[in-house]
């Protein structure tokens, strides 16, 4: 099977498996796992923050990150198609008592002015105050869109005077940095909390890292424990993350190039491919997915008329060629 459904389907490479097997471990709940500590220190430094917290999933990283900057009964404002309000099962409300409110953007592109205009102030007893704004970069449901740096800067600068925090869902921030050339610490310093994923394009089997100030991460450790995320000899997973940081970041450019080539050969404008996602609109998605599966190619049905294709660590040039052979006649 050629699996284009998601970059979460990647499997550890042989070298990553060796690093995991040879990992030195300790009890992370006691703060004694040397590789977890090394991973947290490294990722915090990469994003220009004081501290970091290794968590089992991006959803946990996002939800703890938002809880650190928003109290129960306050709201997080974000895009209507954002992962934190679309794919995280209402966790902000169900677990933390946070209200969420959304704006409909133009194709997922961040507009600082649009978000700022919808912020509700503290001190008005009739309104739910906006404590934080959530930004997603790259934007999943917008086809791997890289958010404009100037809009991120404008939003963050405004937030300093407004007393509103910014949370970054950076599940694929590595793709954004490679595609745009914007340094990771630039992105990191434009957010109060940020969750970055190791198990998508970077190819680790499990894990995300939440970065923030030292005080916030200390509180985040309590929330991780409350949510059942306290892990013991988890250095075997941290080893995979460290290996990914050493070997799998720069190669994301190969995934982006393959996605553009896949798009062009399927009649999609490659200029619409920002990173590693190709979106096919106006198709009979269930029929296309079923027929492609029968020919050994798996694709993701986003809706009845939209299909998404992702390139990743397990998709080489030959896989792209085969996918085109299967999908082009179906389209």
**DSSP conformation letters of 113-130:** HHHHHTPPPTT-TTS--E
The residue-averaged pLDDT of 57-78 equals 97
* DSSP class per residue in 163-226: T-EEEEEETTHHHHHHHH---HHHHHTT-SEEEEESSSTT--SS-EEEEE-HHHHHHHHHHHHH
Report yes or no: 229 and 204 within 8 Å, Cβ to Cβ: no
Predicted pLDDT of residue 77: 98
Greatest Cα pair distance, the chain, in angstroms, is 61
The residue-averaged pLDDT of 19-48 equals 96
Reported confidence tier of residue 103, pLDDT bands at 50, 70, 90: very high
Question: Which of 95-99, 122-126, 182-186, 318-322 shows the lowest per-residue confidence on average (mean pLDDT)?
Answer: 122-126
Report yes or no: 327 and 321 within 8 Å, Cβ to Cβ: no
Q: How far apart are CA 152 and CA 236, in angstroms?
A: 35
The residue-averaged pLDDT of 29-48 equals 97
Structural domains present in the chain: 14-248 (3.40.640.10), 250-330 (3.90.1150.10)
The structure tokens 């294709």 sit at 309
Reported confidence tier of residue 201, pLDDT bands at 50, 70, 90: very high
Phi-psi region of 328 (alpha: psi -120 to 50; beta: other; left: phi over 0): alpha
Report yes or no: 7 and 256 within 8 Å, Cβ to Cβ: no
Report yes or no: 247 and 312 within 8 Å, Cβ to Cβ: no
Predicted pLDDT of residue 42: 98
Q: What is the mean pLDDT of the chain?
A: 96
Reported confidence tier of residue 26, pLDDT bands at 50, 70, 90: very high
Strands 75-79 and 130-136: parallel
* pTM given for the model: 0.95
Reported confidence tier of residue 284, pLDDT bands at 50, 70, 90: very high
Cis status, amide bond into 138, omega within 30 of 0: yes
């Amino acid at each position: 099977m050629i699996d284009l459904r998601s970059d979460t389907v990647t499997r550890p490479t042989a070298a990553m498996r060796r690093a995991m097997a040879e990992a030195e471990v300790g009890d992370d709940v006691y703060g004694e796992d040397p590789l977890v500590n090394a991973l947290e220190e490294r990722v915090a430094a990469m994003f220009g923050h004081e501290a970091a917290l290794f968590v089992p999933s991006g959803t946990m990283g996002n939800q703890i990150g938002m809880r650190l900057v928003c109290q129960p009964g306050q709201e997080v404002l974000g895009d209507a198609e954002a992962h934190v309000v679309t794919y995280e099962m209402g966790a902000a409300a169900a677990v933390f008592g946070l209200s969420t409110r959304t704006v409909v953007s133009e194709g997922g592109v961040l507009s600082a002015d649009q978000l700022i205009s919808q912020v509700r102030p503290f001190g008005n007893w009739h309104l739910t105050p906006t404590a934080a704004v959530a930004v997603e970069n790259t934007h999943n449901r917008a086809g791997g869109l890289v958010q404009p740096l100037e809009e991120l800067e404008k939003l963050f600068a405004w937030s300093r005077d407004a007393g509103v925090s910014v949370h970054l869902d950076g599940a694929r921030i590595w793709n954004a940095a490679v595609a745009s050339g914007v340094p990771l610490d630039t992105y990191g310093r434009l957010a109060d909390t940020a969750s970055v994923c190791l198990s998508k394009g970077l190819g680790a089997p499990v894990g995300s890292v939440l970065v923030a100030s030292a005080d916030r991460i200390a509180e985040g450790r309590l929330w991780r424990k409350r949510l059942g995320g306290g892990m013991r000899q988890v250095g075997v997973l941290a080893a995979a993350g460290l290996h990914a940081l050493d070997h799998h970041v720069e190669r994301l450019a190969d995934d982006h190039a393959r996605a553009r080539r896949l798009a062009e050969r399927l009649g999609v404008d490659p200029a619409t491919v920002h990173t590693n996602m190709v979106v096919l609109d106006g198709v009979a998605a269930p029929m296309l997915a079923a027929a492609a599966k029968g020919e050994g190619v798996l694709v993701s049905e986003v809706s009845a008329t939209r299909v998404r294709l992702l390139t990743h660590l397990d998709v080489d040039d030959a896989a792209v060629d085969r996918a085109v052979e299967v999908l082009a006649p179906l389209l």
